[in-house]
Structure 1
Amino acid sequence: MLAMLGPSGSGKTTLLTALGGRLGGRLGGSITYNGKPFSNAMKRNTGFVTQDDVLYPHLTVTETLVYTALLRLPKTLTKQEKSRHAEAVIEQLGLSRCRNSIIGDHFLRGVSGGERKRVSIGQEMLINPSLLFLDEPTSGLDSTTAQKIVSTLWELANGGRTVVMTIHQPSSRLYYMFHKVLLLSEGNPLFFGKGCDALDYFASVGFAPSVAMNPADFLLDLANGVSTADSHEDQTAVKQTLVSAYKANLSESVKSELANEIQIHLPTDSKQFGRWSNTWWDQFSVLFRRGIKERKHESFSALKIIQVLVVAILSGLLWWQSDISHLQDQVGLFFFANGFWGFYPLFQAIFTFPQERLMLAKERSSGMYRLSSYFMALTLGDLPMELVLPTVFFTITYWMAGLKPAAGPFFSGLFVLLYSVLCAQGLGLAIGAAVMDMKAATVLGSVIMLTFLLASGYYVQHVPVFIGWIKYLSISQYAFKLLLGTQYSVGETYPCGGGGRRCLVEDFPAVKAVGLDGQVVSAVALALMIVGYRLIAYVALMRIGVIKK
């Protein structure tokens, strides 16, 4: 068990992330394992626990580990065997008491911080790694909980694994559990060796503690350039002295020692560890089930259901039994429904990928699944949840508003509304994936959708030619045209003026600006948008995660 010590900014996390093959950007140098270049096959069989516990809050401890086992363990194992592996990890990490408790988050009460950390460690232990990296595993935990976590890691190390962790300020109890210590200062090593030898080494180069103290505290003082409690020496000079002392006294011996170390038993057989642990379909089915179980709580929250029901009933009361003699009112109802179900799914979808970003980056970095299987599982998994509420809205409003009491107009209108919802959802996914900032994505989505609404032909019926091209990009314009086409047909009349006079519906100003023709073109345009926006979202997501295959 190797602990990397050093003050904030000393390079602990950067070094650990680089060793784990998860550091992006333009890099120089090389990383080798047992003298061989680091490969994706090695990465998929090396555990890496991030500082922040990235877990789904609504899943239980057992569900979290079972889903991870189904995704990470090889396809040579059956589902039952993978589940047994998860159960064994739960027992090994002492999580049996909270196995059926949800993970929780800041807004949802769940397991404790220490248990959450052990779940994160458990996800990596499922693959039985020879090498386990951990970034600040005791961060934010009380001393007793931190002791339990490090004790667990100590047991794992004694079980034949190599554990490498960064840790900021361990207690003396924790310090003496580390087999080896690496002390860093501004990216430079100051000491590498057995923790119990550190004080003797620094004393030999002229730096000894003036009082009895926690060795870790003394090492951190030195890494900050503070040699004693009442020292007035130049901190930069102290650091330079320690760096020079390391190069003169330890550097060569460390290199020779590492060359003769017992090698880490990492898999190198590329045939045994292929590109992916499971087939595309297995990844898709697990991600599909997990996604539905996690997101159903948000999609079907009481607040959202009440919101839609209130708007539906209020709309039905405002447009109560408005027959064709009130054509302007009916057209206004369709435009409102079109606008409401343009914005609503747009903003639901905008938040999807920004909220999933950390999870996607974590799991893709471990090579758990293909991006395509994740994207298809998320897209198809959201469909039933995204389409139920607009169906409820349209059913309530349609019959309360007194629109044509026939199955044909009703179902075709419902189909068009759901069709436009899919298109608006695709636009939201594309914006969220491209921007990845919830505030910026919300502003951009609002501007785009408002532009589409303004150009749809209801508010402005005589749009100047130089800006009229916007309507050809407008979801609202095509959806509005299709909705009108479900209720009215060419040649249909409505009462206008007195004396039983009737006029053509297509000549009514609010309808004429959009037209009742070109229904097929509108349907095709929306279909292209449904596919096109999702392709944009997929391409934008390809930049997330280290393994981009």
Structure 2
Amino acid sequence: MHLHCVAPKPENNGTELMKPQHSFSQRVMYPITLKFQEIVYKIGQQKTILNGVTGTVCPGEMLAMLGPSGSGKTTLLTALGGRLSGKLSGKITYNSQPFSGSIKRRTGFVSQDDVLYPHLTVIETLVFTALLRLPQSVGREEKVRHVEHVIAELGLNKCRNSMIGGPLFRGISGGEKKRVSIGQEMLINPSLLLLDEPTSGLDSTTALRILNTVKRLASGGRTVITTIHQPSSRLYYMFDKVVLLSEGCPIYYGPASTALEYFSSIGFSISITTNPADLLLDLANGIGPDTKNVIEQGDTTEQEKKLVREALVSAYEKNISTRLKTEVCSLDSSNFSYTKDVSTRNGVKLEQWCTSWMHQFKVLLMRGLRERRHETFNKLRIFQVISVAFLAGLLWWHTPTSHIEDRIAMLFFFAVFWGFYPLYNAVFTFPQERRMLIKERSSGMYRLSSYFLAKTVGDLPLELALPTAFTFILYWMGGLKPDPTTFILSLLLVLYNVLVSQSLGLAFGALLMDVKQATTLASVTTLVFLIAGGYYIQQIPWFIVWLKYLSYSYYSYKLLLGVQYSDNDYYECSRGVYCQVANLPAIQSVGLNNMWIDVSVMAVMLIGYRLVAYLALTHVR
């Protein structure tokens, strides 16, 4: 085994990426030689996930990481992609340099699960990715042309206008989804391409097609590393090099074609023709060829497996490790090493954004609106809100001014319904987007602030249209004050209440990132706010009265009363007798004054809840 890599060419200004006259898979701006030495990764003090893994991958080569589930393949791949949170020791260099923002922008990472928006078509998915990941200096037409090249290169022309699909409706096939995921990374013309289980869940023909595509990309001068669980012999012989892991320890590193020969030389030979990957995985599991029959009969012990693993680790140290370290070191022109917390690498400080904040906001807003245009529950939500408005309008039909208790109840219903309905909808926003957010932020696609604002602004049309229709229906059917100014102020207060409620829902969702937990917390909170909202209990005990001031429903209810009534208003409290509205116990306990203070308190809530949601998203890993 001799290591030799072509020296990387000097970096150009990036214009080569955009030249359309050649196949994009056949050209790389900046070849990367990746070296990793003595990689150790531990969780806490006890569990070692990776234990002294060493290797090198040159431009044009495809390295496969093999091993059983839990052997550390994905962890190693994540570490090589600069995405591993926690303490990593060892040495990883890219052209003899440490990981940096510029390397991050030249690295494509395809995760095992295809994280894609189900309601976007293939071309929409790739165009939006191109608009976000390619430099703003490149025009939109050039970016679209680049997308067309990638679609042609990956054989996606037949399904270009098909929706991706999801659990609720059928879209493109699994193999096509995987190619779309690869295509998203190919758009940046990566020098280093990392793929986690690209053939997982695919039939052998589709898996072969995917790996043929990846092999072709590698032949264009890219450095390609992939984890793979159990490849067929056809797939196995497509790899240039193999790293075999067993419980985090390397037991083989070298050319894929000589693996069987190596294991035969250390006493693990097999007489019959077999898939090399099967033998390698058996060995990684501690199952030697001579003990396989015993194991199949169920008579094996963990001790026997442990002995096989120890023999393999010992043989690796003796026959491969020392020579490999020497050869890797001889290629190194720098002695840079580190033992540091690599989670700091995942931060956006490493990024020099290739697009402006406003460009990111516009593209993300457009993508969000496009994704929501086919939302399944829109019609259901519209029916739900309009039917409740009409039913409530019939129940409160032209309530006379003398029935002031019924009118107050209607105003409280406004405050409660539009205090809770948006909250429950907003709770789902970020937990449903979590995987997409992690994937795209890890790739440095956009700033968190542009995503956050685009997401919240994109939700507003539906969030504000429904309460507006609801208020138009119930306000006039219920016979509230028929004054245009009062109606407009009431509508604005309902919408204000919606925004505050939505903010709390976003905060709950972002803090917990789990729909079940967030909805449970939301239901407890809404119940407390309902009881303390100033309608059901007018004299709350002093030791718990503070709950009332945390409830935005209380402020919304108070403001709606203040718009409808003033201190000088009277109502017919009994036949021919008129009483002052302000003296009614239900209104006296809330009050009709200090409305600007209530508006200000709700403004603090609106900003505060959204700030909490934003800060919670900064910690999503």
Structures share fold, TM-score greater than 0.5: yes
| Equivalent-residue separation in structure 1 for 2:331 and 2:213 (angstroms) | 24
Q: Aligned letter for 2:312?
A: L
| Equivalent-residue separation in structure 2 for 1:18 and 1:146 (angstroms) | 25
1:185-243 deviation per Cα after TM superposition (whole angstroms, max 9, x unaligned)? 01111111111111001000000124221110010000001111225671111111111
Whether 2:135 is the aligned partner of 1:74: answer yes
Q: TM-score, normalised by structure 2?
A: 0.84
Whether 2:247 is the aligned partner of 1:170: answer no
Correspondence for 2:397: 320
Q: Which runs of 5+ in 1 are unaligned?
A: 264-272
Correspondence for 1:463: 540
SS of the aligned residue for 2:114 comes to: coil
SS of the aligned residue for 2:545 comes to: helix
Tell me, yes or no, if the aligned pair for 1:103 and 1:110 is still in contact at 8 Å: yes
Correspondence for 2:282: 221
| Equivalent-residue separation in structure 1 for 2:311 and 2:492 (angstroms) | 75
Give the total of aligned pairs. 535
The equivalent position to 2:202 in structure 1, one of 107, 129, 141, is: 141
Identity %: 60
SS of the aligned residue for 1:324 comes to: coil
Correspondence for 1:115: 176
Q: Aligned letter for 2:184?
A: Q
SS of the aligned residue for 1:29 comes to: strand
| Equivalent-residue separation in structure 1 for 2:462 and 2:149 (angstroms) | 34
Correspondence for 1:266: none
1:448-502 deviation per Cα after TM superposition (whole angstroms, max 9, x unaligned)? 122122112100011111111111211011000111122222211111112x111
1:297 Cα shift? 3.5
1:259 Cα shift? 5.2
Please say which of residues 529-538 and 249-258 is displaced more in the overlay.
Answer: 249-258
Please say which of residues 38-47 and 198-207 is displaced more in the overlay.
Answer: 38-47
What does 1:501-520 correspond to in 2, within 5 Å?
Answer: 501-520=577-596
Whether 2:317 is the aligned partner of 1:251: answer no
Correspondence for 1:98: 159
| Equivalent-residue separation in structure 1 for 2:182 and 2:197 (angstroms) | 12
What does 1:477-496 correspond to in 2, within 5 Å?
Answer: 477-496=554-573
What does 1:149-160 correspond to in 2, within 5 Å?
Answer: 149-160=210-221
Whether 2:109 is the aligned partner of 1:32: answer no
Q: Aligned letter for 2:234?
A: R
| Equivalent-residue separation in structure 2 for 1:26 and 1:416 (angstroms) | 50
Q: Aligned letter for 1:365?
A: S
Correspondence for 1:348: 425
Q: Aligned letter for 1:243?
A: V
1:262 Cα shift? 11
Tell me, yes or no, if the aligned pair for 2:351 and 2:444 is still in contact at 8 Å: no
| Equivalent-residue separation in structure 1 for 2:351 and 2:170 (angstroms) | 40
Q: Aligned letter for 2:124?
A: E
What does 1:11-410 correspond to in 2, within 5 Å?
Answer: 11-228=72-289, 229-231=292-294, 234-258=304-328, 275-298=352-375, 301-410=378-487
1:289 Cα shift? 0.8
Q: Aligned letter for 1:61?
A: V
SS of the aligned residue for 1:83 comes to: helix
| Equivalent-residue separation in structure 2 for 1:237 and 1:44 (angstroms) | 44
Tell me, yes or no, if the aligned pair for 1:299 and 1:385 is still in contact at 8 Å: no
Q: Aligned letter for 1:521?
A: I
1:255 Cα shift? 3.1
RMSD: 1.7
| Equivalent-residue separation in structure 2 for 1:259 and 1:514 (angstroms) | 77
The equivalent position to 1:524 in structure 2, one of 573, 582, 600, is: 600
1:100 Cα shift? 0.7
Correspondence for 2:503: 426
Tell me, yes or no, if the aligned pair for 1:296 and 1:385 is still in contact at 8 Å: no
SS of the aligned residue for 2:480 comes to: coil
SS of the aligned residue for 2:250 comes to: strand
| Equivalent-residue separation in structure 2 for 1:99 and 1:389 (angstroms) | 34
Q: Aligned letter for 2:255?
A: K
1:117-157 deviation per Cα after TM superposition (whole angstroms, max 9, x unaligned)? 11110010000011100001111111111111111111111
- Between Structure 1 and Structure 2, the one with more strand by share is 2
Tell me, yes or no, if the aligned pair for 1:222 and 1:239 is still in contact at 8 Å: yes
SS of the aligned residue for 2:293 comes to: coil
Tell me, yes or no, if the aligned pair for 1:51 and 1:137 is still in contact at 8 Å: yes
1:299 Cα shift? 8.3
SS of the aligned residue for 2:244 comes to: strand
| Equivalent-residue separation in structure 2 for 1:490 and 1:252 (angstroms) | 90
| Equivalent-residue separation in structure 2 for 1:88 and 1:52 (angstroms) | 24
Q: Which runs of 5+ in 2 are unaligned?
A: 1-61, 334-349
Correspondence for 1:269: none
| Equivalent-residue separation in structure 1 for 2:543 and 2:456 (angstroms) | 37
SS of the aligned residue for 1:165 comes to: strand
**Cα distance change on mapping 1:128 and 1:262 into 2, 3 Å:** farther
1:438 Cα shift? 1.1
